[in-house]
Structures are given as structure tokens and as C-alpha cells.
Structure 1
Amino acid sequence: MNTKAQAIRLGVDRGVREFRHSMGSSDQFYNVFTGLAALTVLWFQRDSSVDGSDISLAALTLPSLLGMGMVFGALVGPAGQLSTNREDGTLLRAKAVPNGMVGYLVGRTVQTSLDSLTGLLIVLVPGLFLVNVLSDAGVGGVLRLFAVLALGMVSMLPWGAVAGSITKSPGGAMGITMLPMMGLVAISGIFYPITAMPGWLQGVAQVFPVYWAAHGARASLLPDAAAVAEIGGTWRIMEMIGVLGVWAVVGFLLAPTILRRMARRESGSDMEQRRQAAMQRVR
């Protein structure tokens, strides 16, 4: 087995172990908290209908939350983890091992995927008791849903790595990912039809993956009648694939270069400065 293949295998193993460790940490508390918040929204929306159809607003919101959650986790999770690992010396140690950065990035990808899947199930499983969106979707709809969610994750993972590379602290990484993401969630038709937004905000939302991942999730699970709440009154699958694909391709072209530059700049003295700054924040 060559060193790169060995690094990938070790990265997968590390990602699984770190995910298991995170099951008892505050990370899963965050997943549970946000899941309960989402289910509360669905509970209050269950008796409201989308204008022009008999589709409940909760049925529109549930797949939207799944798409949004996958994109959100793929950006914010790696950004916070990478910036934390720069601070505690994990990246410096990975840099010193042959193909260590390959193994590190594989591990981050595996952990992020498992964390995102856990958050998805926390919303989806109880949500199905509040909203029946699978009766018309069938097995094909569920498979399309997971394909959309995988594409949504891939579209944001490299950008999470970029955000973690260019910031100097975990707080900075959260600031440049969570705040813009929360703004995009507000205008992307997650909790109400996007057609209720002003036209210029609809245009802004369509530039970013949040709207398209949620749109694809809705198209996967909801009947054609639900498209009345979409821009143009139709499901735009090819546009969704195109936008998410462009974000993924550009991200994977930029991320390796930025990560290599960041890794080259890593040194023991820089790590110690960040560690001291972190200790000052704690005090």
C-alpha cells in the first residue's frame, strides 16, 4: 500500500473515531438543539397551507431544512474545526508527516459528513410524524434527496476549508461563516416561499447554494403541485445541478492552493502565539 492510500485509510479511521468522540460532546447538543427548534417550527406550520395549493407550509419547510442544514454544516463545521486545529497544533503535526495533510482532510470530510447526517436524521425522523412528505415521493424521491444533499455538501466543503485557512481563530472562522449563512437562510425560502421575497432578494438568493440545496430537496420529496410556490412555478433541476456544481468546482480548484499556502506558513512559533492568544481569551 502506498503512502497516500495509507494516509486516506488512516484519515477515514480518524474521522470515524472523532465522530464517535463527538457523540458525547457539545457538538451533538447543538444538533439536538437546532433539531428541536426546527421541529417546533414544523409543529406551528402544520395547519397552514401554501397560497394556491393544498400543500401544508410544514411540508414545504421540512425538505428545505434538510437542504439548508447540509449546506450549513458543510461550511461552518470544517471552518471551525480547521481553525481550532491550527490553534492546538494538530495541523502542524499533520504537516510533519508524509501525506499527513491528505489524511487530515479526509478525516475532516468523514467527520463532517457523519455529523451532518446525524443532524439530518434528528430533523427528518421525527419530522415525518408531523409531516407526511414520503407518501408520494417513494424510494426514488428518497434517493434523489440524498443525491441532492450530497451535492449540496460537496458544494460547500471546500469553502469551509478556505474559511478555516484564512482566519486566525475559531471565533473568526465562525464570524465569517455563520453570520453570512444566517443572512442567506433568511432570504432563501427555507421557512416560507421565496416568492414572498422582493425580486432583487430572490436574485441574490439564487447565486448561493443554500437556496438551491433546499429547492432540490423540495423537488425530491414534494408533488409537482408544490412547485406553485417556486420561482417560475416549476422545479429547476438542471439549474440546481449547475449552480451547486459551479460552487463545488471553483471551491475544489481554490481550496488546495489556499490550504498548501496555509500549511507552508505553519510553524511552532505561530502555533504558540495562537495558543497564548486562546488562553488569554479563556481568562
Structure 2
Amino acid sequence: MNAVTPGIRRGLIELRQHFTNAPDLIGLFLTPAITLGVLFFLRNKTYDDSGLSVATLALPGFLASLVAFNGLYLLLNELVLDREDGTLLRAKTIPRGMTGYFVGKIVSVAASVTMQVVIVLAVGAVLIGGLSPHGTGWFTFAWVLVLGLLAALPLGAIFGSFLDTRSAFLLTIPMMGLIAISGIFYPITALPGWLSAIGQLFPMYWLGLGMRSALLPADAVSIEIDGSWRHLETVMVLGVWAAIGLTLAPIVLRRMAGKESGATMAARKDKAMQRAF
């Protein structure tokens, strides 16, 4: 607790900085704002004979992509930058500093993503409409969000432990491809069978399915695979990804922290300067 409490405090400070800093706010909300604008103009276009608008169907999936993409990429990017500017090395010199550092990062990133999702959901519900949480919809929304973060955050920590700035940027390319085959903006049933099978191996599809089951009318299930929300499968797949990530992340992070030194940081800076010039 001597390390966790300062870590939580650090995470709350970083969260306040994110939401009071204009560049950070632009980074968090520019893409969602553009996407919501596109969906707004599609709100009157229906999908086949389902009676549901394309925008209404896409909004829950878009929320899922925010959880998966930002949950992974925000933590990854912060770890990469903190390794390169010496923040991580300074944390290592403080007793239990690494524990506090990682707790703070998890708190700040998880809270940032959650607030982003809630704000985008609120704005989307007003601009697009059509959302109709039924029964235990909000409870489903909550556990899907939590499981999604548990699946995404450890992956961000793992990748952030060994990627550099350039490699971290290139990771966005396969992430965008994964979004395209995960049924985020249109039902996965519209994809070829082999491609939809690949999409179902990753958390993003199941996050989208869970969000749709929570936020769409009950009869929207007719456009899903087997006409089912498959909650049990959603829990199992997200749970497996979370378990794998939570098992591997502490191991990878400990090894990464153990290798951090003034010499390695200087070598990274020299390498970055060579690329720049």
C-alpha cells in the first residue's frame, strides 16, 4: 500500500493534466468528433430491412474500438515516451517507485478511456439516437467495459516495454486492419467466413458485440452470428485475453525495468538523433 497509494495519486494527477491540456484533449476527442460527424449524416440510412440506422449500429462498435485501441495505445505510447525521456529511470531510483509508476499509469489511462467512452456515448446518444438499453443493459455495458480494459491495458504495457517511438507508430497499421475486420462499423456477418473467423480471435469483435448487446434494442440481435449476443463467449474470450496479458505484463515490465540505466537511455537518444539527422 505504501507504493499503491502514491501510484493512485499520481494517476489522478496525470488524469487531471490530460483533461486540462488542450493538445491532450484534441488527441482524445478529434477522431471521435470526426467519426460522430460522419455517423450523424448516416443516421437516416437503414441497414437492410432491420429498421435500424447504420449510425445506430455503428456507434456501440465505435465505443468498443475506443476501449481497445486507446486502452492499448495510450499506455503503450506513454511507456515508450517515459523510457526515452528518463521518467521511467527516475521512477526506478525511488523505493517501490516502479510499482507506484505502473499503478499511476493504469489509473490514468483506464480513467481517461472510461471518461472518453462515456462522453462519446452521451454525445452520440443525442446526435444519433436509436440506442435503447434493455433489461440489464447498463450492467452489461459496465462489465464489457471493465473486461475490455483488462484485455487491452496489459497488451499496451507489453508492447510499450520493447517498442520505440517509430515502431509504436507503425503498430497503428495492423490495429486499423483489425478494426476493419471486427464488425465495428458494420455487422461481421457481411464479411467472408474466413475473414470473420480471424476477427473473432481478437478482443475487438467481442467488445463490439458486448456493447451492441448492451445499447441496442433487443431485436437487433437478429443481425448477429447465430442470432445471439453470445455473452458467455464474450466473457470467455475477453477473459482469456485479460488472463494472458495480466500474466505476461508483470514479467515483461520487470525485465524491461531491470534493463533501464543511464547508458541505455543515452544510447536510445543517440539513435533517435541519428534518425533525425
> Do both proteins adopt the same fold according to a TM-score greater than 0.5, normalized to the shorter chain?
yes
2:2 counterpart SS class:
helix
Is 1:126–2:123 an aligned residue pair? yes
C-alpha RMSD over aligned residues:
1.7
Query: CA offsets, 1:10-45, max 9 Å, x none?
Result: 111111111222221422212221111221221122
Query: CA offsets, 1:52-102, max 9 Å, x none?
Result: 311211111111111111111111111111111111111112222222111
TM-score, normalised to structure 1's length?
Answer: 0.92
In structure 1, the gaps of 5 or more residues are none
Q: Which of 32, 36, 39 is equivalent to 1:39?
A: 36
In structure 2, the gaps of 5 or more residues are none
Aligned length: 276
Give me the whole-angstrom Cα distance separating, in 2, the residues matched to 1:111 and 1:170. Answer: 20
Aligned residue for 1:22? 18
Range moving further from structure 2, 41-50 or 208-217? 41-50
Aligned residue for 2:165? 170
Give me the whole-angstrom Cα distance separating, in 2, the residues matched to 1:281 and 1:40. Answer: 38
Aligned residue for 2:49? 52
Give me the whole-angstrom Cα distance separating, in 2, the residues matched to 1:89 and 1:97. Answer: 13
Aligned residue for 2:225? 231
Give me the whole-angstrom Cα distance separating, in 1, the residues matched to 2:14 and 2:274. Answer: 27
Range moving further from structure 2, 69-78 or 50-59? 50-59
1:14 counterpart SS class:
helix
TM-score, normalised to structure 2's length?
Answer: 0.94
Does the aligned pair in 2 maintain the 1:154–1:248 contact within 8 Å? yes
Query: CA offsets, 1:118-139, max 9 Å, x none?
Result: 32134212211123344x4158
Does the aligned pair in 2 maintain the 1:76–1:174 contact within 8 Å? no
Is 1:112–2:109 an aligned residue pair? yes
Give me the whole-angstrom Cα distance separating, in 2, the residues matched to 1:116 and 1:76. Answer: 11
Give me the whole-angstrom Cα distance separating, in 2, the residues matched to 1:211 and 1:174. Answer: 22
Give me the whole-angstrom Cα distance separating, in 2, the residues matched to 1:171 and 1:114. Answer: 26
Is 1:140–2:136 an aligned residue pair? yes
Does the aligned pair in 1 maintain the 2:134–2:214 contact within 8 Å? no
Give me the whole-angstrom Cα distance separating, in 2, the residues matched to 1:94 and 1:12. Answer: 15
Aligned AA (1:11): G
Does the aligned pair in 2 maintain the 1:52–1:228 contact within 8 Å? no
Give me the whole-angstrom Cα distance separating, in 2, the residues matched to 1:115 and 1:61. Answer: 22
Q: 1:115 to 1:171 in 2, by over 3 A?
A: farther
Aligned residue for 1:187? 181
Range moving further from structure 2, 138-147 or 187-196? 138-147
Q: CA deviation at 1:113?
A: 1.3
Give me the whole-angstrom Cα distance separating, in 2, the residues matched to 1:25 and 1:162. Answer: 28
Aligned AA (2:178): L
Aligned residue for 1:202? 196
Q: 1:25 to 1:271 in 2, by over 3 A?
A: farther
Give me the whole-angstrom Cα distance separating, in 2, the residues matched to 1:40 and 1:203. Answer: 31
Q: CA deviation at 1:280?
A: 4.8
Give me the whole-angstrom Cα distance separating, in 1, the residues matched to 2:16 and 2:217. Answer: 37
Give me the whole-angstrom Cα distance separating, in 2, the residues matched to 1:192 and 1:215. Answer: 11
Give me the whole-angstrom Cα distance separating, in 2, the residues matched to 1:139 and 1:278. Answer: 54
Aligned residue for 2:154? 158
Q: Which of 239, 243, 268 is equivalent to 1:245?
A: 239
Give me the whole-angstrom Cα distance separating, in 2, the residues matched to 1:204 and 1:32. Answer: 29
1:6 counterpart SS class:
coil
Does the aligned pair in 2 maintain the 1:66–1:124 contact within 8 Å? yes
Give me the whole-angstrom Cα distance separating, in 2, the residues matched to 1:233 and 1:48. Answer: 22
Give me the whole-angstrom Cα distance separating, in 1, the residues matched to 2:199 and 2:122. Answer: 28
Does the aligned pair in 2 maintain the 1:35–1:122 contact within 8 Å? no
Query: CA offsets, 1:133-158, max 9 Å, x none?
Result: 44x41583123212211110110111
